Amino acid sequence: MKADNEYEVLQKWRDGDQDAFGELFAQNATRLYNFAYRLTGQRENARDIVQTAALKAFARGCPTGEDTVFYAWMRRVVLNLFLDSERTKKRAHRPSLLQGVDWQDVEFAVAAEVQPASPRTQMDEDQRMQAIWRALDNLADEYRTVVVLRDIEGLSYEEIASHLSIPLETVRTRLRRGRQRLRDVLQPLVSDES
């Protein structure tokens, strides 16, 4: 949705046109779902969180700020729901990120790329993405959340600190550790020697 159009639709919602919310949500559903999916690593959880977030936001009503960006506003609702849900359940109990994927194949594909004789083009793009997903999924929640917010959502350290209610230095530390672990796990994908 173009920014000026979004402003107009937000204004409609603010003026009492409740259908405007549906229009805004439909326009932003893909981004919101993918944000939730990257946080949770589970399609069902992501779907539930986005759906709950949408209804919660709808019940709360249109934010009053003139400079409101619908996606950023909704993203925060999604993030808060995710943080709430993680507080009440242990991540260890949830099933793997990509159920049904034959990980032996993925391991083979990643391992194969370490071999100098194996050109990168032979690695199926889907498998590369699965390897990245798996590495992200295996990060501890506290690291994965800041990595998603910074490297995928593009938030600043200050915004992340504000969203998560943690000090700036903690953002920096968690991001460093998260990236270090990802770099170690994904060495075949990031190293020039591959």
Partner 1 sequence: MDKSCCFHDLLSASLDGELSPSEQVQLDEHLLVCESCRKALDEYRKLTSLLGGIPDASVPNGLVENVLKETTQTLQANKEVSTLIPKSRFAGARWMRWSAAVAAVFLLVVLWNGLPGLNDGNVTPLLTSIVAIAEEEWAALDMVFSFDPSRISVKSVESALADSGFLMVSNIGSNEIRVSMASSEAFGPDGGVTVLDLRIMPMSSSDGKSSFLRLETARAYRLDGRPASVTLDQISAPLPEQSDGNGCSSA
Catalog residues that contact partner 1 under the rule CB under 8 A.
Answer: 18, 21-22, 25-26, 29-31, 33-34, 37-38, 43, 47, 50-52, 54-56, 58-60, 129, 132-133, 136, 147, 150-152, 157, 172, 175-176, 179-180, 182-183, 186-187, 189-192
Nearest distance in Å: CB 20, partner 1: 11
Q: For partner 1, give the closer residue by CB, 84 or 102.
A: 84
Helix, coil or strand: residue 97: coil
Q: For partner 1, give the closer residue by CB, 44 or 67.
A: 44
Helix, coil or strand: residue 194: coil
Nearest distance in Å: CB 128, partner 1: 8
∠ Cα 29 174 68 (to 5°)? 35
Q: For partner 1, give the closer residue by CB, 91 or 183.
A: 183
Give the Å distances, CA to CA, from 166 to 86, 146, 169, 170: 16, 11, 8, 6
What is the rounded CA–CA span in Å between residue 148 and residue 144?
6
